């Protein structure tokens, strides 16, 4: 019996040491922006950015801990060393690149213009002639309206909101003519209100999203993130994740995720997980 | 808002109540910290020599003058940069607790000063030291007089706990956001439900403090004297 106890104790110590050996990095994300990151109805952190980070961590052999932080706090957190990786649909901009380091771009986003279903407006009239345009404060959509429309003398009334849902609620209430936002969340909004909203058009701004780390990359994370992304693209896992997250409804994605996630977290099989997720979400 | 929407919101009540538990834990921790620190700061302001009293006033001035969100950032990111590994919850307790102590010290200072100075002299003449007098004569009266303005502070900091989500504490407002970004049509009803929960809990808290005031009431000790300034809401 005593030998058993010793053996168990040794195993516990050994596993503790092994656990120590594997580095854990904190991934900061504002988990309220489907389909890139949101909290499922079952209470899980889910979304494209988060699954990509989970897959990269497995492929590159490190541990991650996902932490939900308000969007504005992520870059200060990275600068303070509180957060190791920012993964929250960050557009790569010059201002941000001055204080943090970005990975290679992993996503190209355009801006969609959402309008009411029974409007006569098209994408041009929805953004001119004194139209009331809603956007989320601090987003590239808002910046685009300011720089490319207001800055060039186009007559629009830009109204800024703290969150995207508030802008959509005001559009439905009739206080706005249109709302400008990244394409993927816009599609989700229209899916939530199919008989009230439609997308008038998409403005090709070609914004690029990147993951970000502390300036100078002290933990050497960027090469590992980029190598992980490359492995995912080569194996087809990347394409499957894109297919799973951009298209199906949130309900379908959540159901698929609950069904497949063990393949990733228990078995560590990135390829099989992405395939499972894409197949189940499409059903 | 249709009945169907409300029945949808209803199913999130347990989730929201669990998240509210975080706010309640935050409240209890921060208000206890603020109470202890606040009493000490007030005593220093009233009874200690000039330089120390000035230090206490500076402390009060700082924590009452800096916005809550800025304090949260200073404690969370600042302490990390100084090499301390601090959880968001603990950082929120420290930032909001010290801030509350600034306001609470004002309440206690006013209450202490409203105890007639003659009592201190009378106690001295009976051979009681200053510490003993504070403990057995001044504080029992001052703390009783502090309860009504203190219940104001209680209501205010309870609502302030919702700011902690800025540094990553998943409390009730954050939880409500999770639900609303997942179901846009529920945005307004979910926040109405959150407001209702706060109303019920602040009512219960103030009711409990009112009961406490009655229980501890001493005939003759009335609050007609100058009371500590209640924090403006």
Predicted ipTM? 0.76
Residue that terminates a domain, selected from A173, A206, A239: A206
- B78 chain-A contacts, CB cut-off 8 A: 80
pLDDT at res. B223: 56
Pair (A202, A127) in one structural domain: yes
- B76 chain-A contacts, CB cut-off 8 A: 82
pLDDT at res. B230: 45
Whether omega for the bond prior to residue A83 falls within 30 degrees of 0, making it cis, is: no
For A:125-164, CB contacts with B below 8 A are 163-164
A94 falls within a domain: yes
Number of structural domains (chain A) is 2
- Domain chopping of chain B, boundaries: 22-175
pLDDT at res. A6: 53
* CA–CA dist A164, A180 (Å, integer): 9
Please give, rounded to a whole number of angstroms, the shortest distance from the CA of B227 to a CA of chain A.
40
B139 Cβ contact list (under 8 Å, min separation 6): B39, B112
* CA–CA dist A117, A96 (Å, integer): 37
Pair (A115, A200) in one structural domain: yes
Q: Say if residues A245 and A47 touch (Cβ distance below 8 Å).
A: yes
User: Nearest-CA neighbor of B153 among B202, B195, B100, B110?
Assistant: B100
pLDDT at A275 over 60: yes
CB atoms within 10 A of CB A86: 28
Q: Does A73 touch chain B (CB under 8 A)?
A: yes
What is the band of A277 on the pLDDT scale with cuts at 50, 70, 90?
very high
* CA–CA dist A110, B173 (Å, integer): 30
User: Nearest-CA neighbor of B100 among B163, B53, B54?
Assistant: B163
Residue with the two structure tokens 């932080």: A69
pLDDT at A263 over 70: yes
Pair (A117, A201) in one structural domain: yes
Q: What is the pLDDT of residues A142-195, one digit of tens each?
A: 999 999 999 999 999 999 997 888 899 899 999 999 999 999 999 988 988 889
pLDDT at A41 over 60: yes
pLDDT at res. A244: 96
Q: CB B187 to CB A165 under 8 A?
A: yes
pLDDT at A220 over 60: yes
Q: CB B168 to CB A69 under 8 A?
A: yes
What is the band of A5 on the pLDDT scale with cuts at 50, 70, 90?
low
Pair (A51, A100) in one structural domain: yes
Which of B165, B167, B182 lies closest to A38 in CB terms? B182
More confident residue, A8 or B99: B99
Q: Say if residues B208 and B48 touch (Cβ distance below 8 Å).
A: no
Structural domain containing residue A175: 110-206
Q: Say if residues A174 and A236 touch (Cβ distance below 8 Å).
A: no
Pair (A98, A230) in one structural domain: yes
Q: Chain A interface, mutation test: which of B16, B72, B77, most A Cβ atoms within 10 Å? A: B77
Residue in chain B nearest A68 by alpha carbon: B168
Pair (A97, A120) in one structural domain: no
Residue that terminates a domain, selected from A176, A206, A236: A206
CATH code for position A57: 3.40.190.10
pLDDT at res. B209: 95
Return the structure tokens found at A135. Answer: 């956007």
What is the band of B227 on the pLDDT scale with cuts at 50, 70, 90?
very low
- A41 chain-B contacts, CB cut-off 8 A: 182
CB atoms within 10 A of CB A175: 12
Whether omega for the bond prior to residue A35 falls within 30 degrees of 0, making it cis, is: yes
Burial of A42 (0-12, 13-18, 19+ CB in 10 A): exposed
Q: Does A45 touch chain B (CB under 8 A)?
A: no
* CA–CA dist B192, B6 (Å, integer): 10
Pair (A144, A265) in one structural domain: no
- pLDDT above 90: percentage of residues in chain B: 75
pLDDT at B207 over 60: yes
Fold for B22-175, please state it.
MetI-like fold (1.10.3720)
- A169 chain-B contacts, CB cut-off 8 A: 184, 187-188
Pair (A160, A274) in one structural domain: no
pLDDT at res. A246: 93
Q: What is the pLDDT of residues B41-73, one digit of tens each?
A: 999 999 999 999 999 999 999 999 999 999 999
pLDDT at res. A112: 96
A47 falls within a domain: yes
Pair (A50, A96) in one structural domain: yes
- B77 chain-A contacts, CB cut-off 8 A: 76-77, 80, 82
Q: What is the pLDDT of residues A123-144, one digit of tens each?
A: 999 999 999 999 988 788 999 9
Predicted structure pTM score? 0.80
pLDDT at res. A129: 93
pLDDT at res. A237: 97
pLDDT at res. B96: 97
Once rounded to an integer, what is the mean pLDDT over residues A115-121?
92
- A39 chain-B contacts, CB cut-off 8 A: 178, 182
Return the structure tokens found at B49. Answer: 């020599």
């Amino acid at each position: 019996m005593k030998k058993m106890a010793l053996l168990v104790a040794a195993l516990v110590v050994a596993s503790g040491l092994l656990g120590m050996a594997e580095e854990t990095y904190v991934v900061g994300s504002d988990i309220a922006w489907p389909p890139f990151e949101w909290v499922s109805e079952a209470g899980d952190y889910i979304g494209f950015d988060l699954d990509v980070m989970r897959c990269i961590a497995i492929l590159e052999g490190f541990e991650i801990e996902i932490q939900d932080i308000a969007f504005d706090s992520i870059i200060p957190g990275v600068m303070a060393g509180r957060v190791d990786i920012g993964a929250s649909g960050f557009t790569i901009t010059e201002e941000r690149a001055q204080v943090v380091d970005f990975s290679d771009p992993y996503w190209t986003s355009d801006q969609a213009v959402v309008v009411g279903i029974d409007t006569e407006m098209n994408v041009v009239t929805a953004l001119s002639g004194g139209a009331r345009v809603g956007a989320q404060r601090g987003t590239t959509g808002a910046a685009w309206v300011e720089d490319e429309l207001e800055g060039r003398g186009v007559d629009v009334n830009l109204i800024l909101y703290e969150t995207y849902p508030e802008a959509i609620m005001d559009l439905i209430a009739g206080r706005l003519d249109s709302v400008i936002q990244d394409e993927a969340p816009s599609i989700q909004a229209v899916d939530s209100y199919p008989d009230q909203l439609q997308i008038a058009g998409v403005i090709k701004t070609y914004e690029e999203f990147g993951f970000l780390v502390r300036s100078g990359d002290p933990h050497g994370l960027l090469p590992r993130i980029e190598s992980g992304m490359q492995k995912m693209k080569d194996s087809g896992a990347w394409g499957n994740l894109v297919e799973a997250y951009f298209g199906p409804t949130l309900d379908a994605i959540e159901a698929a995720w609950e069904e497949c996630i063990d393949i990733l977290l228990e078995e560590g099989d990135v390829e099989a997980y992405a395939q499972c997720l894409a197949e189940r979400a499409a059903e | 808002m249709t009945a169907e929407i409300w029945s949808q919101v209803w199913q999130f009540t347990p989730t929201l109540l669990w998240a509210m538990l975080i706010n309640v834990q935050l409240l209890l921790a921060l208000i206890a910290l603020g109470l202890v620190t606040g009493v000490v700061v007030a005593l220093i302001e009233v009874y200690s020599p000039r330089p120390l009293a000035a230090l206490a006033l500076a402390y009060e001035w700082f924590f009452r003058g800096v916005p809550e969100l800025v304090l949260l950032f200073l404690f969370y990111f600042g302490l990390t940069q100084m090499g301390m590994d601090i959880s968001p919850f603990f950082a929120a307790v420290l930032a909001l607790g010290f801030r509350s102590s600034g306001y609470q010290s004002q309440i206690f200072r006013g209450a202490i000063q409203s105890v007639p100075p003659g009592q201190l002299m009378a106690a001295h003449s009976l051979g009681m030291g200053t510490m003993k007098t504070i403990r057995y004569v001044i504080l029992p009266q001052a703390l009783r007089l502090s309860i009504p303005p203190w219940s104001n502070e209680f209501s205010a900091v309870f609502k302030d706990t919702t700011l902690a989500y800025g540094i990553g504490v998943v409390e009730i407002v954050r939880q409500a956001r999770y639900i609303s970004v997942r179901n846009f049509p529920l945005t307004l009803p979910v926040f109405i439900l959150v407001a209702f929960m706060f109303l019920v809990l602040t009512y219960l808290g103030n009711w409990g403090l009112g009961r406490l005031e009655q229980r501890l009431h001493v005939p003759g000790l009335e609050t007609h004297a100058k009371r500590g300034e209640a924090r403006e809401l």
